[in-house]
Structure 1
Amino acid sequence: TLLGDLMGDAILSATGAHWEEAEPDYWNMNTDVRTTAIVLWAMSRLDPENDLLPNAVRWLMAVREEGHWESTQVTAWSLLGLTEYMRASGELRGDMSYSVYLNGQEWATGQVTEENIDEGQELQVGIARLLADEANRLVIQRQEAGPGQTGEGQLYYSAQLRYYLPVERVQALDRGIVVARQYSPVDSPGEFVDSAQVGDVIQVKLTLIAPTDLYYVVVEDPLPAGCEGVDLSLKTTSVVGQAPELRNLTAEEENVWLRRYGWGSWFFSQTELRDERAVLFATYLPRGTYEYVYNIRASVPGEFMVIPTTAYQMYWPEVFGRSDGARFTVRDAE
């Protein structure tokens, strides 16, 4: 059936679902955003209980730019799809109760009403309170409608687990974005190193692979504590108070693929080389392979732990990737 085909063609990520066109059709003004909105509109009518719908709504809301979608055509269909979903789901008529259980113990309770439908509840628990060497069970349960309640509305929730490891044990992780980092002598970019002498200039190469189009992407690359960023445009180390920008690859450094799909300024709208890290931001990043190169200078001797490079979608942090953790040694100048 058509509905079954649509479900099979959905592209799923940790917190979003969308549909993509096989190829652009500029005459008919098709885009992946408009197609997703049309599918949302149709499925809200045909199958309003489908589990894909809330995720499609989240994806549509996240791909807006400065509060609106990319064109009047896309905006019109997005509003139609979202309105139809709200009508079918009773989104604004929240009137229910819920409970949260952790390992069989009641952790919290709450109510959703029309007055507090735009509010949330945040719960945190320390890892020390979790069970060791066995599964921990988190249950979020919607209660039966109580006296005077209609039981209408949607209950949204998400859960995150944060823990910390020694940096040398942190391995690269792909949750929708592939990230890698390499250090090389500036005069020998093909040679990878994990140490340098005071005064040496080291080239940092960041590689990012986006299997699908990404939105509101942040890339953060912590510098080794014994190193500082170098602003090549000034031909010297930046002085306090200046905010140097990372440079794009030169034509000689890029191959044809990178010239077409590389870290062009048309994708990364903001790049910063801060005291302790390099940061890049893109509102929209088409799927493909990207590379960025910048330089650091070894300045303080010692052995330093280097936090992995991370890339994530600002509004969907569950879609992310990181590089390996590393050790970097700075030796005294001979």
Structure 2
Amino acid sequence: AEPIAAGYRIRRSVSAVEQATPGRWSRGDIYRVKLEIDAQADMTWVVVSDPVPAGATILGSGLGRDSQIATRGERRTGAWPAFSERTPQAYREYYAHLPKGTATIEYTVRLNNAGEFALPPTRVEAMYAPEVFGAAPNARLTVGPRS
């Protein structure tokens, strides 16, 4: 599947924070997601939604010191969200106003389950103008058992 851009372009990249076996994901590994959003125009009430594998934990909720250490180094540029949501299915940020230009979001995930995961597309959309959106397909994710 190809990325779709209708007013927004979104790019997603993943880098290892802690990886037991370099180049292979295992249960317990931690990765950082970087979302780059390119907005063609100023827009109000925008949501960015990025799926996470089943059983994974989005770190940084403030529970436990491990998340403080693992989330160190997360970066953000552009607008600040009105609200961030960590659900079992996705990481979401809601913006009262997302200005024209580029914004970057980073968040950190711990993989808790081994398996093969098919993730839906990453999306950015104007909540009250659904024709203004961007979507990027996600590759399958394979997570092995902890070695």
Task: Verify same fold: TM over 0.5.
Answer: yes
| Alignment match, 1:172 | 3
CA gap of 1:289–1:249, structure 2 versus 1, over 3 A, is farther
Q: Which amino acid aligns with 2:116?
A: E
Q: CA RMSD in A?
A: 2.4
- 2:17 paired residue among 186, 192, 197: 186
Identity of matched residues, %:
31
Q: Which amino acid aligns with 2:95?
A: A
- 1:303 paired residue among 116, 128, 140: 116
| Alignment match, 1:315 | 128
User: Unpaired runs of 5+ in structure 2?
Assistant: none
Distance (Å, rounded) in 2 between the aligned partners of 1:249 and 1:323:
25
Distance (Å, rounded) in 2 between the aligned partners of 1:284 and 1:229:
24
- 2:50 paired residue among 218, 221, 225: 221
SS of corresponding position for 1:326: coil
SS of corresponding position for 2:62: helix
Q: Which amino acid aligns with 1:323?
A: A
Larger Rg: 1
Given that 2:84 and 2:92 are in contact with CA atoms closer than 8 Å, whether structure 1 keeps it comes out as yes
| Alignment match, 2:36 | 207
User: Unpaired runs of 5+ in structure 1?
Assistant: 1-169, 238-246
Q: Which has the higher contact order (CA 8 A, sep 6+)?
A: 2
Q: Cα offset for 1:201? A: 0.7
| Alignment match, 1:122 | none
Q: Cα offset for 1:233? A: 3.2
Distance (Å, rounded) in 1 between the aligned partners of 2:79 and 2:116:
31
Distance (Å, rounded) in 2 between the aligned partners of 1:171 and 1:224:
21
Q: Which has the higher helix share?
A: 1
Distance (Å, rounded) in 1 between the aligned partners of 2:18 and 2:111:
15
- Runs of 4+ residues over 6 Å off in structure 1: none
TM-score by length of 1: 0.39
Given that 2:79 and 2:99 are in contact with CA atoms closer than 8 Å, whether structure 1 keeps it comes out as no
How big is each residue's C-alpha offset from its partner over 1:211-251, in whole Å with a ceiling of 9 and x where there is no partner? 111121011111122522122633346xxxxxxxxx8976x
How big is each residue's C-alpha offset from its partner over 1:287-325, in whole Å with a ceiling of 9 and x where there is no partner? 111111111111111111011110111111011001122
CA gap of 1:294–1:212, structure 2 versus 1, over 3 A, is same
| Alignment match, 2:106 | 293
CA gap of 1:227–1:285, structure 2 versus 1, over 3 A, is same
Aligned residue pairs total 140
Q: Which amino acid aligns with 1:321?
A: G
Q: Which amino acid aligns with 1:211?
A: Q
SS of corresponding position for 1:186: strand
Distance (Å, rounded) in 1 between the aligned partners of 2:138 and 2:131:
20
Distance (Å, rounded) in 2 between the aligned partners of 1:187 and 1:223:
17
Q: Which has the higher strand share?
A: 2
Given that 1:226 and 1:301 are in contact with CA atoms closer than 8 Å, whether structure 2 keeps it comes out as no
Given that 2:79 and 2:98 are in contact with CA atoms closer than 8 Å, whether structure 1 keeps it comes out as no
- 1:273 paired residue among 77, 86, 95: 86
Given that 1:174 and 1:320 are in contact with CA atoms closer than 8 Å, whether structure 2 keeps it comes out as yes
Q: Cα offset for 1:331? A: 0.5
CA gap of 1:280–1:329, structure 2 versus 1, over 3 A, is same
Distance (Å, rounded) in 2 between the aligned partners of 1:213 and 1:249:
28
